[in-house]
Amino acid sequence: MVRIGISGAAGRMGRELVRACRQAEGLELTAAVERPASEAVGRDAGELAGVGPVGVRVSGSLREVLDDFDVLVDFSVPEASLNHLALCAAAGRPLVVGTTGLEEAQRRRFAEAASAVPIVLAPNMSVGVNLCLKLLETAARALGLEADVEVVEAHHRHKVDAPSGTALAMGEAVARARGQRLQEVAVWQRYGLAGERPPGAIGFATVRAGDIVGEHTVLLALEGERVEITHKASSRAIFARGALRAARWVAGRPPGLYDMQDVLGLR
């Protein structure tokens, strides 16, 4: 049995993870954490998730529960994730991190800590999305720089980072397959007389509206035809199931920085 700790237990994904833990074979929820000022601190994590008491009280400090879990699943904000990273690395606890909005320097912190503990770091834990990433690499390699690429993503009105981590991962998959660096060819926005499209550019468009869980489409357009690879999420449960699959996989792995492609055996 793998003991699971959940960071951000009162958030949308945290509650979804608590619900998923109750149905996951070989996993047990044993720790839950929120920011110290959260009204959720002291409450039962299961009651917060709407599944009834599970006997796990939400703590306001990860340090207090470091001995209570085998793997930490973290869907929070970058600053909190980095604090949790330091604590888990020092204690030898593996992590599964789905936090988005990480800057390059922050991602390097995870890579450095991965020399001490195994870490699964992925902007999207969905099995379907990660299959799309594999398909995008294949399509981009076949079509090459001749294809005009646009990444269009849509999320709910409460999402604070843009483009989404998944959209960036899709752009990176295309750029890598074409021998490019995404930061050098990405077009983040267009306004006014933007001019003709630069050769080899990868464009991004962002929608924030309503309660959209997550939709991503990558267009690879050539003269006379185009290929579209789309993923639409209708429930956050898919991300929770994927994260717990990663938690089960990473337990007992050697130190290293992994992603969902590793978890799913797509490498």
CATH fold for domain 127-233: Dihydrodipicolinate Reductase; domain 2 (3.30.360)
Q: Calculate what percentage of the chain has a pLDDT beyond 70.
A: 100
Reference 72, options 107, 98, 44; nearest CA is 98
Task: Answer whether residue 146 shows pLDDT above 90.
Answer: yes
Residues 163-186 have a mean pLDDT of 96
Residues 101-107 have a mean pLDDT of 91
Residues 59-65 have a mean pLDDT of 96
**Assessment of whether the complete model's pTM goes beyond 0.85:** no
Question: What is the rounded distance in angstroms from the CA atom of residue 5 to the CA atom of residue 15?
Answer: 12
- Under the banding of pLDDT at 50, 70 and 90, the label for residue 35 is very high
Task: Answer whether residue 100 shows pLDDT above 90.
Answer: no
Residues 174-187 have a mean pLDDT of 98
Residues 210-226 have a mean pLDDT of 97
Question: What is the rounded distance in angstroms from the CA atom of residue 123 to the CA atom of residue 210?
Answer: 21
Question: What is the rounded distance in angstroms from the CA atom of residue 203 to the CA atom of residue 187?
Answer: 5
Q: Which residues have a catalytic role annotated? A: 155, 159
Task: Answer whether residue 9 shows pLDDT above 90.
Answer: yes
Whether 127-233 and 2-121+236-263 are alike in CATH topology: the answer is no
Residues 32-54 have a mean pLDDT of 94
Domain 2-121+236-263 matching CATH 3.40.50.720: the answer reads: yes
- Under the banding of pLDDT at 50, 70 and 90, the label for residue 266 is confident
Domain ranges of the chain: 2-121+236-263, 127-233
How much is the pLDDT for 123?
Answer: 83
How much is the pLDDT for 10?
Answer: 92
Mean pLDDT score of the chain: 95
Residues 211-226 have a mean pLDDT of 97
First to last CA, the chain: 27
Task: Answer whether residue 58 shows pLDDT above 90.
Answer: yes
Residues 210-227 have a mean pLDDT of 97
